[in-house]
Each structure stands twice: as structure tokens, then as C-alpha cells.
Amino acid sequence: MEKQELKMKRFFNEISDENRELLLKNGLEIHVKSGSFLFYEGDFPEHVYLVRSGKVRLSKMTSEGKEFSVHLKQRDELVGEVGLFNEMAISVTAEVTENATLVRFDRHTLESLFRQNGEIAVAFMKWFARHTQSTQAKFRDLILCGKTGALYSTLIRFSNSYGIHKEEGIFINVHLTNQDIANYIGTTRESVNRLLNELKKSNVLSMKNGYITIHDIQHLKNYLHCGDCPVEICTI
């Protein structure tokens, strides 16, 4: 299950081959099975991870004890980077959702490398700024656009990140249950069921065996008054 190769600027892709090799030499490659946790919300993690394959989901627990999915990290992205250059507890839980190959870095080693190597440091700052913008945009949609807008925004983000263009529409190449989607938008499975049924009746999308095909992406974008933001800002 590979992401569609869009023109996204990812951290590891923005540094030279020489610095990629240098970065990898300072880490330890590990293989982690699906269902494993890298750290939990409230921890003070000592490691940062670079995803080489597989997927890692970041989530938070609400005050009501419900799980809220924040991001689904992909190849060449960092996990746990928010713990760099501060002594604060991390605000999310990281769960491997697809068998993953990761490069694990000691936090202090990575901080030292950033201080010594300007290209790697600048690449990190650019990627972190875009990642922050993406998170802010997602929460803007969740807060300002209601449940319907939150669902539409999440579907667009999945289509940008995992969409494969086919004759019948955009096939989202990630298996998603209605509960999975509910966790990404902070609502109930019943609400998602109702909203998805409305979209299916309008032939905006269809679902088969847990996979979604979007037939009319413009319908979703029109509802949200989408602009021409860079694709990496509108990803999951």
C-alpha cells in the first residue's frame, strides 16, 4: 500500500544525498510490527523516528476519554520531532498501524547534528513549518465547518495523501472503517454512517470492502470553499 507520488516536500527528500547518508549513520534502523506503540501522550521520549516504510498514526485522548486521530505519518517523515529542543512532555501517542521500518535517533544526537549541519537544520525547519500549517488548517476545518465540513476535509486530505486516480474517480488506497474516520474528525460512528450514506446517495463517493472511491471531489471542495493551497498543507 504505497502513497501516490505527489509533489510533496518531505523532510528527508529536501537534503542532499551526502546529508541523507550522514543522517542515517547517526540513527539505528529498527523494524516495528503493526499495533506497537513508540510513545504515549504525556511521555518524555528520548528518541525521534524517521519513517522509511509503513505508517504511524498519531492520536490524542479527549477529556471524555475518546481517541482523536491527528495524523497518519508516512515514508520520509519524522515522528516525535515535537520533543526536539525542549523539555516538554509529548502531546500525542504514536502507534504503528502498518509494519514499519524506522530509523531511531537519540534526541540529543539529532539536536547536535542540526546545530552542526545547516542544510539538515533548514530542511527540518521548513518541513516542521509546513507540518504545523497542515495541523492548523485541519483544526480550522474541524472547528469552523462542523461535522460535515470536517468529514469532507478529511476525505480530501486522504485523497491527496493516498489517492490513486482511476477512470471512475479517486481511489483512496487505505482501508478505513467508519470508526476510523470518526476518530479523525472527532465525532461518532453513527454520524459518519449518516454523512457517508448521504454522499453515496448523491454519487459523490462509493465504498467497497472498506475502501473509498471519490467520484466528485469538487463537490467536497466547493462545500469548503477550498483555495489553491499547496498539496502538502492539505494531507492527512
The CATH-assigned architecture of domain 11-116 is: Sandwich (2.60)
Q: What is the pLDDT of residue 7?
A: 56
Q: What is the pLDDT of residue 131?
A: 80
Look up residue 175 and give its three cell numbers: 482501508
- For the chain, list residues with pLDDT below 70: 1-9, 228
Say how far apart CA 78 and CA 87 lie, in whole Å. 18
Q: Long-range contacts for 179-185 (Cβ within 8 Å, ≥24 apart)? A: 180/69, 181/151, 181/154, 183/59, 183/67, 183/68, 183/69, 184/68, 184/69, 184/154, 184/236, 185/142, 185/147, 185/150, 185/151, 185/153, 185/154
Domain ranges across the chain = 11-116, 134-233
Residue 226 burial by Cβ neighbours in a 10 Å radius (0-12, 13-18, 19+): middle
Same CATH fold, 134-233 and 11-116? no
Residue range 169-215, pLDDT digits in tens:
999 998 999 999 999 998 899 999 999 999 999 999 999 999 999 99
Look up residue 163 and give its three cell numbers: 489517492
What number does CATH give the domain 134-233? 1.10.10.10
Q: What is the pLDDT of residue 182?
A: 94
Q: What is the pLDDT of residue 51?
A: 95
